Amino acid sequence: DGGITQSPKYLFRKEGQNVTLSCEQNLNHDAMYWYRQDPGQGLRLIYYSQIVNDFQKGDIAEGYSVSREKKESFPLTVTSAQKNPTAFYLCASITTSGGANEQFFGPGTRLTVL
Amino acid sequence: DAKTTQPPSMDCAEGRAANLPCNHSTISGNEYVYWYRQIHSQGPQYIIHGLKNNETNEMASLIITEDRKSSTLILPHATLRDTAVYYCIVRAPLYQGGKLIFGQGTELSVKP
């Protein structure tokens, strides 16, 4: 089945540690996105990438980094510089060909900083 | 970027139609209106989208006003499994990143 996978589902880290969240898609989509969601809130965009080896900051990029070395993969690193990293992280992808297209979301990773 | 405004919560009786309103008064001519829903602790699920015309699929109908400043999502026969947070989103054109800008959404509670 085609889709987006995120791993792990739950992640715990100690304060001051960097951690990398995985996002893989086998939909052959060009663009990929990372969102953050806090309790009772909507999603906020962290980073997005429309093509391999290129990415742009979203609204809340500080304290995060990404890479896009392969079309299928868009890992997100939460660095120690992120002041409040505990949140639900969602990855999404979309094809950039054609007209309006739906954005597919992964199941999410819940990160808790201890 | 265009913003959307939705009521924070709504109730609906099971089996009745659920009509969820959304205002997007600053929408640009080339921006689409998307609806997603999110059940607790899951990724958002696509429902429907439209540009100018009304749209219908197996899940819902989307009614967009002629001036495109507002829209309504209609779930024709709501079930208990439709209880979720519903997000109305205006999507930037793909050449601007195609990013989805999520607001607070409407928490729909379907009651027996």
Span B53-111, pLDDT tens digits: 899 999 999 999 999 999 999 999 999 999 999 999 988 776 766 777 788 899 999 99
* Beta carbons within 8 Å of B35's beta carbon, 6+ residues apart: B20, B22, B47, B48, B49, B60, B62, B73, B86, B87, B88, B89
The better pLDDT of the pair B35, B40 is held by: B35
Q: Of A48, A90, A107, which is closest to B99 when you measure between CB atoms?
A: A48
Q: Contact B102/A44, CB-based, under 8 Å? A: yes
For residue B101, what pLDDT is reported? 78
**Cis peptide upstream of residue A8 (ω within 30 degrees of 0):** yes
For residues A34, A110, A87, A15, the Cα torsion angle rounded to the nearest 10 degrees is -110
Question: In chain A, which among 35-54 make CB contacts under 8 A with chain B?
Answer: 35, 41-45, 48, 50
Whether the per-residue pLDDT at B1 is higher than 60: the answer is no
For residue B80, the SS3 value is: helix
d(CA B74, CA B104): 19
Is the CB of residue B24 less than 8 Å from the CB of residue B49?
no
Q: Is A94 on the interface with B (CB under 8 A)?
A: yes
Whether the per-residue pLDDT at B2 is higher than 70: the answer is no
The segment with the largest mean pLDDT, out of A89-98, B10-19, B39-48, B49-58, is B10-19
For residue A73, what pLDDT is reported? 97
* Beta carbons within 8 Å of A72's beta carbon, 6+ residues apart: A24, A25, A26
Size of interface A-B (CB pairs under 8 A): 59
Q: Of B34, B87, B99, which is closest to A33 when you measure between CB atoms?
A: B99
B23-50: b (≥16 Cβ within 10 Å) or e: bbeebeeebbbbbbbbeeeebbebbbbb
Q: Is A60 on the interface with B (CB under 8 A)?
A: no
Report, as ranges of residue numbers, the positions in chain A whose pLDDT lies below 50.
none
Is the CB of residue A4 less than 8 Å from the CB of residue A27?
yes
Q: Is A27 on the interface with B (CB under 8 A)?
A: no
Q: Which of B9, B99, B104 to mutate to test the interface with A (most CBs of A within 10 A)?
A: B99
Q: Contact B49/A100, CB-based, under 8 Å? A: yes
For residue B62, what pLDDT is reported? 98
For residue A81, what pLDDT is reported? 87
Distance from CA of A10 to the nearest CA of B (A): 11
Phi-psi region at B40: left, alpha or beta (left = phi > 0; alpha = psi -120 to 50): beta
For residue B105, what pLDDT is reported? 92
Chain B CB contacts of A110 under 8 Å are 41
Distance from CA of A90 to the nearest CA of B (A): 7
For residue A97, what pLDDT is reported? 66
* Beta carbons within 8 Å of A61's beta carbon, 6+ residues apart: A46, A47
Query: Which among B6, B2, B7 has a CA at the least distance from the CA of B25?
Result: B2
For residue A46, what pLDDT is reported? 96
Q: Is A114 on the interface with B (CB under 8 A)?
A: no
